[in-house]
Amino acid sequence: MSDPVPIYILLMIGALMLANYRLSYGRASRLGLRGVGDVDIPQAQPRHYARLSAVVAGLTGLIIYFSGMTLRVEAPGVLFDLLWILILVAATGLASVFTISGTREGFAARAYTERMSESALMGLSLVAVVTTFGIVASLLFEATLFFRDVSILEFLFGTQWSPQTAIRAGQVGQSGAFGAIPVFAGTFLVTLIALAVAGPIGLLVAIYLSEYASRRTRAIVKPAIEVLAGIPTVVYGFFALISVGPAIRNLADMLGANVPTQSALAAGLVMGIMIIPLVSSLSDDVIRAVPQSVRDGSTALGATQSETLKGVVFRSALPGIIGAFLLAISRAIGETMIVVMAAGRAANLSANPFESVTTVTVQIVALLTGDQLFDSPRTLAAFALGLVLFVITLILNIVALSVVNRYRRRFE
Amino acid sequence: MTQASGTKFDEFGVSPEVVARMKKRRSAERRFRLYGRFAVIFSVCALAWLLISILTTGLSAFTQHWIIFDVETEIWSDADKSDRQKITLALGQRLGAAEGRESGSELLQIVSTSAARQQLTRSQEQGANLQEPLIISVPVSDLSDQYLKGFIDRDSPESERKISDQQIRWIERLREEGAIQKRFNRALFLNPDSRDPERAGLATSIFGSIMILLIASGLALPVGVGAAIYLDSFAPQTGWGGRLTQFLEVNINNLAAVPSIVFGLLGLAIFINFLGLPRSIPVVGGLVLALRMFPVIVIASRAALQAVPASLTDSALSLGASRMQAVFNHRVPLAAPGILTGSIIGMAQALGETAPLLMIGMVAFVTTAPASPMDPATALPVQIFLWSGSAEAAWAERTSAAIIILLIILMLINALAIILRERLQRARKL
């Protein structure tokens, strides 16, 4: 960034905005403008005219600035810079003349600005749609390229996953095998273990903290569990790698079994720990949403506290709890770092939690973190897996969110 | 109510069946409470286990042993010898070791050879005084360091450890003679990444993380807060517009729950493959994390905005303010503490993100800090991931140390969020 030109241009745009502000302000106060004296249209002050003209000139300048910066990479040279600056000066000049001369009776600057700002705000919220569209489009596009080489059926139902493509032509196993069943099975196994840990424990933590714990216990335990949610996943991965994996292996050694350090159990267990706060905070919300009158009714009929919780509160909160579990599943399926570091990479088709398994996210990482040509089936396979991941988590999320929302409305 | 004859009633006239049932129900109650307590204890213990295991492996990485030895004039001014030979000779002289190839490489293994060579070259370039012996002061090698920290058992059989009996004798002798010092491991904070654990540091990755985070929050904050304000105060609630709003909201909620690796795939496909930006640069990392942060910030900001009573906006409107004025002068300032806290927590989350950065190729071995957002960079969590892949004990130690640093940074960020919220709330109330 030793090139000074872009910075001068930015300074120039800034100066122009200031000048425009002053000029419009001066003109508006000289003319004593008050916009349109209509009741429906808000009055305008000199500063509204001034802001409008500064912003219009500034935006014009910035748009040309950024498009110039992008094109400049392709076509460097003094000639391009000169042309670019010329266009910029002309356009911002025109914008300035236009807005300053627009500072006149009958033009409601404030109403105009506010309409513009509202559209701009709407534009910002459309970023969400654009992002979603971008995700769907890019995954679909790359996955389609992949499915030209490998049939969808083979991908979804094949049981052989060995995506190594040959470096030399004619090598054995050149095309690689892209049957993703072992990968899906591994994901399912790890998710199941994680949910088996996080589900009951998260739920019980939520119940205990909201119904039984003393205020002091709650004040200590609740933040501690929130800390679990704030720890980056790469830290959990390392924890699984250096502590949980070896601990499981040593335990198995004592029992005379042979378990590798990287196993589905280690990854699932640690992932479960990671998801506990998610389950407990979501269940806490839904349990709290059950009205007190429902509990009182049960207590009045002679039920003990745990009977009330199990028989009444839990039952009325069930849809919400299911929603929480679905979100937890979706989180576990999409979790990457823990499994990359602790589950191993071998694509075993096995239901044995003591073996090392591979998951969708591990394979995406494995396929994409090497120096490959972009269009090899190997890298494209990662996008096909990404598409599956996205679709599954999307369905889970939509179902979970609608279940939770419907449940909330029930008691409102 | 008639009871079968022969049943004994207690003093309150309750039948034994009821007493037994009550006993059962009460113990069920106790059991349930116990399960809850167990779950809480399990979670807290898991947290404690995690923190303790990271601390116990990582704390020792904050110190590093250094070795100080002389290189005599005749050795280091000898132009025929390579730097390695010079260091070997000097060490051999110091320890009175027998000459020979075997002991030479063993000698070299106890110091950080690359650091010693670098120092030798530097003093040659600077034209140091040839009349005086050169004093070399460098970190010891990772294995010697592990031994000096007591992680390698001297009594274990020689074949089971990577450090030989001879080397241990040398190190012990140097230690007794005061030639080995334990120092605070400044390299961990000041050095770039390195292939040698004793010289590896986090400076470049912390710098890269800051750059990525600045780009990401610079993009995601204004956009996210703007979108939240729109959805909160301006979005139509009825008719077709209302449906669009609802669609937007569902969209944002879903986006927040999309796995972060998918955002990495998006970045790879769009920014790198389609737009042709280079891999591993902070701009792409920042863009990807900005997209990741966006829904989080929108949701947090909306919650903060919704907590402001509608009566405030209504009274501003009734006094003749326009919708825009009512929102920006009255609603947004009151929600600002909440928006800020939510955004900072979103930033903390983004700081720990690893998977999306892996997708955009931030796994390169980078030893220079990026001079601009378009230069290859590395990030702190990625560095942790890369270091964790090395099997040597010295790397495990440093990985844990890097995690400790990351966790401390996250703690500080969260503390900042809490302090800012308290401050701003108090300022508003006055």
Per residue in B318-364, pLDDT tens? 988 888 888 998 899 989 888 998 899 899 999 999 999 988 888 77
Dump pLDDT digits (tens) for B31-82: 999 999 999 999 999 999 999 999 998 888 888 888 888 877 777 777 777 7
The reported pLDDT for the residue numbered B273 is: 83
Helix (H) or strand (E) holding B85: helix B83-95
Nearest to B258 among A117, A208, A393 (CB): A393
Question: Are the C-beta atoms of residues B265 and A386 closer than 8 Å to each other?
Answer: yes
The reported pLDDT for the residue numbered B407 is: 94
| Residues whose CB falls within 8 Å of the CB of residue A156, separated by 6 or more in sequence, listed in order | A180, A181
Say if residue A209's pLDDT is above 60: yes
Least Cα separation, residue A389 to chain B (angstroms): 8
A39 inside 8 A of chain B by CB: no
Residues of chain A found within 8 Å of residue B294, distances taken between Cβ atoms: 127-128, 131
B240 inside 8 A of chain A by CB: no
Contact B323 A121 (CB under 8 A): no
Question: Are the C-beta atoms of residues B411 and B351 closer than 8 Å to each other?
Answer: no
Q: Tell me which chain B residue has its CA closest to the CA of residue A387.
A: B262
In the structure, what pLDDT confidence band is assigned to residue A164 with cuts at 50, 70 and 90?
Answer: low
B210 inside 8 A of chain A by CB: no
Say if residue A300's pLDDT is above 90: yes
Gap between the Cα atoms of A15 and A24, Å rounded: 14
| Residues whose CB falls within 8 Å of the CB of residue B161, separated by 6 or more in sequence, listed in order | B152, B153
Contact B230 A208 (CB under 8 A): no
A268 inside 8 A of chain B by CB: no
CB atoms within 10 A of CB A176: 18
| Higher-scoring residue by pLDDT: B272, A355 | B272
Strands A177-178 and B63-71: unpaired
The reported pLDDT for the residue numbered B430 is: 47
Q: ipTM, 2 decimals?
A: 0.89
Gap between the Cα atoms of B342 and B349, Å rounded: 11
CB pairs under 8 A between A and B: 254
Q: Is A289 exposed, middle or buried (0-12, 13-18, 19+ CB in 10 A)?
A: middle
Contact A327 B257 (CB under 8 A): yes
Min mean pLDDT across A165-174, B101-110, B414-423 is at A165-174
Contact A341 B250 (CB under 8 A): no
A219-235 average pLDDT score: 90
Percentage of chain B with pLDDT > 90? Answer: 30
Question: Are the C-beta atoms of residues A155 and A180 closer than 8 Å to each other?
Answer: yes
| Measured CA distances, B421 to A352, B126, B376 (Å) | 49, 54, 36
- In the block, which residue shows the tokens 């998918």? B262
Residues of chain A found within 8 Å of residue B261, distances taken between Cβ atoms: 334, 336, 361, 364-365, 386, 389
A141 inside 8 A of chain B by CB: yes
Min mean pLDDT across A205-219, A370-384, B150-164, B389-403 is at A370-384
User: What tokens does A3 get?
Assistant: 């090139």
Locate all alpha helices (DSSP H) within B194-238, ordered by sequence. 203-229
Contact B29 A228 (CB under 8 A): no
Say if residue B132's pLDDT is above 80: no
- Output the CA torsion sign for A364, A366, A368, A372: negative
**Chain B, window 37-96: residues with a beta carbon less than 8 angstroms from a chain A beta carbon:** 37-40, 42-44, 46-47, 49-50, 53-54, 57
Say if residue A48's pLDDT is above 70: yes
DSSP-derived letter for residue B277 is P
Least Cα separation, residue B180 to chain A (angstroms): 30
A224 inside 8 A of chain B by CB: yes
Question: Are the C-beta atoms of residues A16 and A58 closer than 8 Å to each other?
Answer: yes
The reported pLDDT for the residue numbered B127 is: 67
Strands A161-162 and B63-71: unpaired
The reported pLDDT for the residue numbered A47 is: 82
Question: Are the C-beta atoms of residues A110 and A44 closer than 8 Å to each other?
Answer: yes
Gap between the Cα atoms of A322 and B11, Å rounded: 47
B363-370 average pLDDT score: 77
In single-letter form, the type of residue at position B244 comes to L
Q: Tell me which chain A residue has its CA closest to the CA of residue B231.
A: A125
Average pLDDT score over chain B: 85
In the structure, what pLDDT confidence band is assigned to residue A34 with cuts at 50, 70 and 90?
Answer: low
Residues of chain A found within 8 Å of residue B251, distances taken between Cβ atoms: 128-129, 132
* Residue to test with chain B: of A122, A125, A211, most B Cβ within 10 A: A125
Say if residue A1's pLDDT is above 50: no
Percentage of chain A with pLDDT > 70? Answer: 89
Residues of chain A found within 8 Å of residue B297, distances taken between Cβ atoms: none
DSSP lists the bridge partners of residue A325 as none
Dump pLDDT digits (tens) for A65-103: 888 877 777 767 778 888 888 888 888 888 888 888 877
Locate all alpha helices (DSSP H) within B96-153, ordered by sequence. 101-110, 113-125, 142-148
Dump pLDDT digits (tens) for A351-361: 777 777 888 89
B135-147 average pLDDT score: 84
Question: Are the C-beta atoms of residues B268 and B197 closer than 8 Å to each other?
Answer: no
Min mean pLDDT across A62-76, A185-199, A330-344, A370-384 is at A370-384
DSSP lists the bridge partners of residue A178 as A161
| Measured CA distances, B313 to B161, B325, B331 (Å) | 72, 9, 6
| pTM of this structure | 0.88
Say if residue B9's pLDDT is above 60: yes
∠ CA B338-B340-B342, rounded to 5°: 70
Min mean pLDDT across A150-164, A168-182, A220-234, B29-43 is at A168-182
Contact B29 A306 (CB under 8 A): yes
Say if residue B219's pLDDT is above 90: yes
Contact B294 A128 (CB under 8 A): yes
Residues of chain A found within 8 Å of residue B219, distances taken between Cβ atoms: none
Gap between the Cα atoms of A263 and A101, Å rounded: 73
In the structure, what pLDDT confidence band is assigned to residue B166 with cuts at 50, 70 and 90?
Answer: confident
Gap between the Cα atoms of A408 and B83, Å rounded: 73
B271 inside 8 A of chain A by CB: no
A36-59 average pLDDT score: 74
Classify residue B81 as left (phi > 0), alpha (psi -120 to 50) or beta.
beta
Say if residue A263's pLDDT is above 50: yes
Question: Could you write out the three-class secondary structure of B5-44?
Answer: CCCCCCCCCCCHHHHHHHHHHHHHHHHHHHHHHHHHHHHH
